Amino acid sequence: WPVITVHFSNHTGYGAWKGPILPAEDVAAVIEGIEERGVLPTCNAVLSGYMGDVSLGRVILDAAARVKAANGHALYCCDPVMGDVGRGFFVRPGIPEFMRDHAVPAADIITPNQFELEFLTGIEVDTLEHALRAAEAARKLGPEIVLVTSLQRSDSPADAIELLAVSGDGAWLVRTPLLPISVNGAGDMTAALFLAHYMKTGNVAQALGRATASVFAVMEATANAGAREIQLIAAQDQIAHPPPRFAVEAVR
């Protein structure tokens, strides 16, 4: 069930937008209505992303806790949206600390980008070893699985971008070409697809490979279209049936 927490005209990555952050009590009422239908035991995962303010964050964590109480096998995946390399923080004051101190410890899976991983752990990431150390530090905060959704390091090709997934069972790296486009929403899409594939396979490496293939297909379609918005519909077949395109390398 999608629960809307903001009603914005466009992605905040444009730098300007219009529209409201929904009041926390309104969002809580929607979740309560879903719970009253008696369906929470059938919910297998909760995915959260951009949080408009801390009060909404508390409602989101309460919802995740309710789902997990109703279904002991349910997972909470938190995309700790707060900033990016080159842009810094782009969320309201207090959100980064709320993510670090409350949301991330409550999650089973987190999907930070490189900037967010550095903030969460206090570890600067410049090499693969740094990234592995930071991911393990993030796991010690609570989550079992850490997916770093955009990794660029000094010891990898400048024309490539990588995704790194780390769990208690190992660590896996995927590298793709870095396309010459500037769009928003790739991280949101990556988090959703990784969670979906992990729920389907129960395998971190497989979920990483499938999610990466789908995301790259969407980015490629976006680049070919010369579009500012990611081309989800144009690449819907690759989202549904990701082609085995990039090698998944075990790095630990």
Output the pTM of the full model: 0.93
Question: What would the mean pLDDT of 1-11 be, rounded to a whole number?
Answer: 92
* Residue at 240 is within a domain: no
* Residue at 26 is within a domain: yes
* Residue at 66 is within a domain: yes
What digits encode the pLDDT tens for the residues 21-49? 899 999 999 999 999 999 999 999 999 99
Q: Which domain holds residue 68?
A: 12-208
* Residue at 213 is within a domain: no
Tell me the CATH number at 66: 3.40.1190.20
CA distance 6 to 19: 8
Domain total in the chain = 1
What digits encode the pLDDT tens for the residues 194-250? 999 999 999 999 999 999 999 999 999 999 999 999 999 999 998 999 888 899 999
